[in-house]
Amino acid sequence: GSKKAVTKTASKGGKKKKRTRKESYAIYVYKVLKQVHPDTGISSKAMSIMNSFVNDIFERIAQKC
């Protein structure tokens, strides 16, 4: 799954490409998963669904105010 952001180092003489930061709740979902089920993993597809779920709930809470 999408656990941690892996940064690639530039090749010998190549230009350094600036990595665009994609905001996600993936690291937080993963940390909570490990607290609840330490021996369980999550696929990138499932993590994408969880990210959408958290975004949706966040939007719903934001609408109430």
Q: Give the domain CATH number at 41.
A: 1.10.20.10
When pLDDT is cut at 50, 70 and 90, the band that residue 14 belongs to is confident
User: Where do runs of H (alpha helix) occur along 1-65?
Assistant: 26-36, 44-64
Segments forming the whole domain that contains residue 55? 26-64
Cα dihedral: 51, 55, 58, 63 (round 10) = -160
Which class for 46: exposed (0-12), middle (13-18), buried (19 or more C-beta within 10 A)? middle
Residue 17 domain-assigned?
no
How many structural domains comprise the chain? Answer: 1
* Cα(15)–Cα(10) distance, integer angstroms: 7
Q: What is the pTM of this model?
A: 0.68
Residue 48 domain-assigned?
yes
- Range of lowest pLDDT (9-13, 26-30, 57-61): 9-13
Distance of CA 21 to the CA centre of its chain: 11
Q: What confidence score (pLDDT) does residue 51 get? A: 98
